[in-house]
Amino acid sequence: MGRGRKNILFLLVVLGSLCGIRRAAAQSTAVRPVSSTRSVASAEPFTAAEKKELQRREDSLQQFADKIVNGETPEQRFRADSQFVRSLVRTLRLPHSFYYPFDSLETISRLYAPDSSFRILTWQFKKDDFLYLQEGAIQMNQPDGSLKLLPLFDASMFTARPLDSIRSRRNWIGAIYYKMIVKTYQGRKYYTLLGFDDFSQTSNKKWMEVLTFSPEGEPQFGGPYFSFLDDSVRKRVQYRFNIEYKKEALTRFNYDPDMDMVIFDHLVPEGDEPGKKDTYIPDGDFEAFQWKEGRWVHIEKQLFNFKLKDGQFPMEAKMLDDQGNLDEQKLLEQSQKNEQKKDAAKPPVKPPKSGQ
């Protein structure tokens, strides 16, 4: 069942709690480093006291973050989400928090830009089987260590045409991001995000989104970046791209640095109803996107005619890599824990330590 039956009133309440990020971010512009004993040559920008304080606050954040996913009731998960948001903003106000990885927050994706200009934090809140809300914020890397935080508001359930619009952080198409690729064209940087969306009761989505920044520093999601002009049947240029597939299916959608392509499974319906995306599964073929002159150009499976050797396909990263990034499959498994808890006789399933 899709998002049409989501509780919109409840969503507005949740979005109201997220406004706390916006208010705190606006207040944070006056925050400045308070320590004058930090060594400029030091590899770690924290004093011992600052690091200890960050670690103390991380312990509290970890408890809230875990309950957002694993709380047994909607009330517990909602309360944990509100507490997490407030505590996160207070913690990020500490000087140079940008460099602190928050490694223990296993249910929160923390993805750094390859050029270290910003990081994006994303997670999801589940009210029930029909409402999954993605949440997030972009933390900019400020030279003086102060906080510049840009909250993201998931508005994907309010649009029937998510593939043909440029969006701001106030009407973001939500996803939990697991990979970022930076490309440059005519002197401008384009950050491509790959993300997971626990879309509905019967299907998941994976998104490919291009993020840029305006001259004023505002994030802009989407644009005419996805070209299908080389396909045998041409389609309109899209502003973002996704695949939707059966809940239980395992799909690959990742960047291969050796091929310099984003490669993903070609999907087909299990039965004879191509309109039902929740029946789509991989058929063993692949499609791809390749960056050419400021666009991602689609490569059909008919043209994608080379074979991958064993181990060559871009595997998902470990659940928690050296930069603190989450594996998308781990996120899926964590979101399913609540379903497993319905059967009290079964112990909780421990997710694998490595990607698919």
Condensed to tens digits (0 to 9), the pLDDT of residues 231-285 reads 998 899 999 999 999 999 999 999 999 999 999 999 999 988 999 999 999 999 9
Q: At 227, phi and psi to the nearest 5?
A: -105, 140
Vertex 146: Cα angle to 144 and 150 (nearest 5)? 130
- The beta strand positions in the chain, using DSSP E, are 109-112, 118-128, 131-140, 149-153, 176-185, 188-197, 203-213, 219-221, 226-227, 241-246, 253-256, 261-269, 280-292, 295-299
Task: Identify the band that residue 327 occupies on the pLDDT scale cut at 50, 70 and 90.
Answer: low
Distance of alpha carbon 349 from its chain centroid, rounded? Answer: 23
Quick one: pLDDT at residue 185? 97
267, 253 Cβ separation under 8 angstroms: no
Residues 60-89, buried b or exposed e (16+ Cβ, 10 A)? ebbebbbbbbbbeebeebbebbbbbbebbb
3, 200 Cβ separation under 8 angstroms: yes
Token representation of residue 267: 């999907």
**Mean pLDDT calculated for residue range 196-219:** 95
Three-state DSSP class for residue 54: helix
Share of the chain above pLDDT 70, in %: 72
Task: Identify the band that residue 305 occupies on the pLDDT scale cut at 50, 70 and 90.
Answer: low
Quick one: pLDDT at residue 129? 64
Residue type, 61: L
The alpha carbons of the chain give a radius of gyration, in whole angstroms, of 20
Tell me if the pTM is above 0.75.
Answer: yes
Token representation of residue 74: 């909607």
252, 208 Cβ separation under 8 angstroms: no
Quick one: pLDDT at residue 146? 95
Kindly tell me if the per-residue pLDDT of 209 is higher than 60. yes
Cα gap 60→172, rounded to integer Å = 28
Distance of alpha carbon 13 from its chain centroid, rounded? Answer: 22
Quick one: pLDDT at residue 346? 40
Query: For the range 347-352, what are the long-range contacts, defined as Cβ-Cβ under 8 Å and sequence gap of 24 or more?
Result: 351/319, 352/319
**Mean pLDDT calculated for residue range 109-138:** 91
Vertex 263: Cα angle to 323 and 212 (nearest 5)? 60
